[in-house]
A and B are shown apart, each in its own frame.
Chain A
């Protein structure tokens, strides 16, 4: 299997755990995996990305533009910022809830993410939109969206990794007291992903 998956968001949203779960699940299935993360100054409120490259055909740790099979975007503008990486026919799963930059409070440009979602709808055929606030509220935790979006990716059937493997990795990688809620988040996301896959 050769798959390139790009995760993007804003520092602190939990993209790193999601990328680690994808990488370790793919390895469990016997694949070679490479990945790369944003580390350093940009982590403090800046745009962050994780590139996960599954398969023997990957040499660069970063996905070349126009080659990603899937983008998991934790923030609408970050999805658009990284859309150059998506290949034609690729899947985008995006959170519709925006993260406003600090500069936005100083100079209000009215950024609320809606223009970004509209642009994605225009450009991406295979688009899954998830409202992170709703899903977090229903599960009673603000910190589970990263696993929910991963569930959605599995649910679409386009990630090439089965739910059982990911669940096993959640059990080993997530601290014990949070495993249950993360599993529930995974299933909630998976359901959303599946409903799109049927379409």
Chain B
């Protein structure tokens, strides 16, 4: 046995590996990305591991592995499940043979996501079980149990940690000798594996009969717990359970019921926990899922119990909970007196705000700046997308007019073109996002005759989520070097007639290319190719010479973190500068040069 201090995501990965998975597939997304990365670290070659092109592909690859009888794991963030919803809804009807766990990391806050959607609701919508761990240690054990339930009921199951579980660290003890669980192989049976209305009808009926039985099974499951006594009860789940424990510690004058499997709801356990209870407080994040389930149970069983939580505004409707918000709600619910342990900060001075920004030397800054310069004085729309380059919205660049979801920039640029033909419509998309969900949008543009300029910001990595490889990088998660899939070749194959590749740091050339593309009809593509600065750090630094007239154009137009004002003068922070030279090309008086340059 080996003991290691690891992140929640690593605990989930090691739990799945210990459970004997033969295949794991996912698409990067905060806060889920480290699960696949941990498996890579421990994989002895017996597990097929991949970053799939998107979440839908990952889920389908894994589903087939489970049809063959093998245990499989899928990982994604919550919005990724929207992409994978199509196969999952059908898979819930068809079912699986080998255990299949779909880890979907929710992000209350949201801290780095577009939505505060709740995967527990998705589980109910799909009619499949969902597991909700409360700590990294528990996640390690629970995912193994999730595989067992999956096989017992021949259904895919969801496993839903939240950011604070995924990114928390704890010590986990595990056996290093992993081996995949042996499997039978795919046995042809079209009545089982081919979804048709007849099968869907039969299986839908089976599922509705089965799920209450799973609920009863879950009432006996050791991670669904009720302890304490009294007329008041707290119902909670996930990280909120840890916050409740942090406040109550070992107190037993209140019932604490912790729901580890929100769907199918462990109704028997909840009913016994509600015995003699007059008031209930539900502390959970995202949707009031447990709360509405208790409302339902109380209604069916005509219980005279008051239920407080999100629906009564006792718990915040949006944003994440914390030890402090939970303590405040519990104090009010239990009538406890307030105890002040902190310092009085009523006179706190105003603090500087620190919005996230593109790194110093980031090639995206140069790409955005080139397009902005080329479109000066012209009506133009800039449709953004999901990735580091969403940060192009910040001042002074201000180059993101829309951002909706993965791949939407490509298609939204078309909608704007069809409505306002006097404007130049741009779509900005990163290389990884292009592969994940940008390609079909390009076909749509060519087919439906949109005039637009597609800007592929190709930095040869999936930067925002921690530099994962993708089909354009020439590497995969089995350690193989594979042929790079060329974005220009794809675009050519899809019928894009004009495809340019430029280095965004060659500013004049980049501006000219944009201008010339804007004069042409149809779909044009410009690949702005330069590697992510976090992966490739040049040694060169820029410096400012005596020509500087302190006009601050470099700061006002480019906004690189390395150009700063020191004692009223523009200067370059050498600890941040990467020597990209964009500021030098913007300077009107040639006052910025490379190290040693005059």
Q: Which residues of A contact B (CB under 8 A)?
A: 10-11, 23-24, 27, 32-37, 39-47, 57-67, 77, 80-81, 83-88, 100-106, 108-109, 111, 115-116, 119, 123-124, 142
Contacts of A42 in B (CB 8 A): 111-112, 356
Complex CA gap A78/B367 in Å reads 32
Can you offer 8 A-B residue contacts whose CB atoms are under 8 A?
A41-B356, A60-B323, A64-B323, A84-B345, A85-B342, A101-B354, A105-B559, A105-B563
Contacts of B97 in A (CB 8 A): none
Complex CA gap A10/B323 in Å reads 24
Q: Does B464 contact A (CB under 8 A)?
A: yes
A-B interface pairs (CB < 8 A), number? 152
Q: Does B171 contact A (CB under 8 A)?
A: yes
Contacts of B246 in A (CB 8 A): 58-60, 64
Complex CA gap A57/B353 in Å reads 34
| Interface segment out of the listed B162-170, B192-200, B448-456 | B162-170
Q: Does B31 contact A (CB under 8 A)?
A: yes
Which residue among A37, A39, A115 has the maximum number of chain B CB atoms within 10 Å of its CB?
Answer: A39
Interface hits, B112-160 → A, CB 8 Å = 112, 135
**Pairwise interchain contact B112-A80, C-beta atoms closer than 8 A:** no
Contacts of B575 in A (CB 8 A): 142
A36-B169, A58-B246 known; A77 vs B352 contact (CB < 8 Å): yes
Complex CA gap A62/B243 in Å reads 9
**Pairwise interchain contact B343-A62, C-beta atoms closer than 8 A:** no
Complex CA gap A10/B556 in Å reads 23
Residue interface bits B215-230, CB-to-A below 8 A is 1, else 0: 0000000000000000
Q: Does B19 contact A (CB under 8 A)?
A: no
Contact of B342 (CB < 8 Å), options: A11, A41, A66: A66
Contact of A103 (CB < 8 Å), options: B5, B324, B355: B355
**Pairwise interchain contact A108-B324, C-beta atoms closer than 8 A:** no
**Pairwise interchain contact A59-B242, C-beta atoms closer than 8 A:** yes
**Pairwise interchain contact B31-A40, C-beta atoms closer than 8 A:** yes
Interface hits, B288-331 → A, CB 8 Å = 322-324, 327
Q: Does B268 contact A (CB under 8 A)?
A: no
Contacts of B31 in A (CB 8 A): 39-40
Expressed in whole angstroms, the minimum distance between the Cβ of A106 and any Cβ of chain B is 6
Expressed in whole angstroms, the minimum distance between the Cβ of A143 and any Cβ of chain B is 9
Contacts of B245 in A (CB 8 A): 59-60
Complex CA gap A45/B534 in Å reads 13
A40-B111, A106-B559, A142-B575 known; A123 vs B167 contact (CB < 8 Å): no
Expressed in whole angstroms, the minimum distance between the Cβ of A56 and any Cβ of chain B is 11
Contacts of A39 in B (CB 8 A): 30-31, 167
Q: Which residues of B contact A (CB under 8 A)?
A: 5, 30-31, 111-112, 135, 164, 167-171, 239, 242-243, 245-246, 249, 322-324, 327, 340-343, 345, 348-349, 351-359, 388, 391, 394-396, 464, 555-556, 559-561, 563-565, 575
Contacts of A61 in B (CB 8 A): 135, 164, 168-169, 239, 242
**Pairwise interchain contact A80-B349, C-beta atoms closer than 8 A:** yes
**Pairwise interchain contact B352-A109, C-beta atoms closer than 8 A:** yes
Output the nearest chain A residue to B341 by Cβ-Cβ distance. A66
**Pairwise interchain contact A100-B556, C-beta atoms closer than 8 A:** no
Output the nearest chain B residue to A98 by Cβ-Cβ distance. B352
**Pairwise interchain contact A41-B343, C-beta atoms closer than 8 A:** no
Contacts of A111 in B (CB 8 A): 352
A-B pairs, 4 with minimum CB distance: A66-B342, A61-B168, A66-B341, A64-B323
Output the nearest chain A residue to B320 by Cβ-Cβ distance. A62
Complex CA gap A140/B357 in Å reads 29
Contacts of A37 in B (CB 8 A): 167, 169
Complex CA gap A168/B243 in Å reads 34
Expressed in whole angstroms, the minimum distance between the Cβ of B325 and any Cβ of chain A is 10
**Pairwise interchain contact A83-B343, C-beta atoms closer than 8 A:** yes
Contacts of B345 in A (CB 8 A): 83-84, 123
Complex CA gap A45/B560 in Å reads 11
Contacts of B561 in A (CB 8 A): 45, 102
Contacts of A23 in B (CB 8 A): 5, 169
Output the nearest chain B residue to A109 by Cβ-Cβ distance. B352
Output the nearest chain A residue to B391 by Cβ-Cβ distance. A44
**Pairwise interchain contact B343-A124, C-beta atoms closer than 8 A:** yes
A33-B5, A60-B242, A64-B246 known; A105 vs B555 contact (CB < 8 Å): yes
Complex CA gap A44/B340 in Å reads 35
Complex CA gap A63/B340 in Å reads 15
Expressed in whole angstroms, the minimum distance between the Cβ of B562 and any Cβ of chain A is 9
Output the nearest chain B residue to A47 by Cβ-Cβ distance. B354
A60-B323, A84-B345 known; A103 vs B243 contact (CB < 8 Å): no
Contacts of A65 in B (CB 8 A): 323-324, 342
**Pairwise interchain contact B111-A103, C-beta atoms closer than 8 A:** no
Contact of B565 (CB < 8 Å), options: A44, A60, A101, A108: A108
Contacts of A35 in B (CB 8 A): 168-169
A24-B5, A58-B246, A88-B341 known; A64 vs B327 contact (CB < 8 Å): yes
**Pairwise interchain contact B5-A45, C-beta atoms closer than 8 A:** no
Expressed in whole angstroms, the minimum distance between the Cβ of A190 and any Cβ of chain B is 24
Output the nearest chain B residue to A115 by Cβ-Cβ distance. B349
Contacts of A24 in B (CB 8 A): 5
Contacts of A63 in B (CB 8 A): 323
**Pairwise interchain contact A88-B343, C-beta atoms closer than 8 A:** yes
Expressed in whole angstroms, the minimum distance between the Cβ of A91 and any Cβ of chain B is 12
Contacts of B243 in A (CB 8 A): 59-60
Contacts of A62 in B (CB 8 A): 164, 322-323
**Pairwise interchain contact A44-B358, C-beta atoms closer than 8 A:** yes
Complex CA gap A41/B348 in Å reads 26
Complex CA gap A27/B170 in Å reads 10
Which residue among A27, A44, A104 has the maximum number of chain B CB atoms within 10 Å of its CB?
Answer: A44
**Pairwise interchain contact A27-B171, C-beta atoms closer than 8 A:** yes
Contacts of B167 in A (CB 8 A): 36-37, 39
**Pairwise interchain contact B352-A44, C-beta atoms closer than 8 A:** no
Contacts of B342 in A (CB 8 A): 65-67, 84-88
**Pairwise interchain contact A106-B564, C-beta atoms closer than 8 A:** no
Expressed in whole angstroms, the minimum distance between the Cβ of A179 and any Cβ of chain B is 20
**Pairwise interchain contact A40-B341, C-beta atoms closer than 8 A:** no
Contact of A106 (CB < 8 Å), options: B5, B388, B555: B555
**Pairwise interchain contact A87-B341, C-beta atoms closer than 8 A:** yes
Complex CA gap A47/B25 in Å reads 32
**Pairwise interchain contact A116-B563, C-beta atoms closer than 8 A:** no
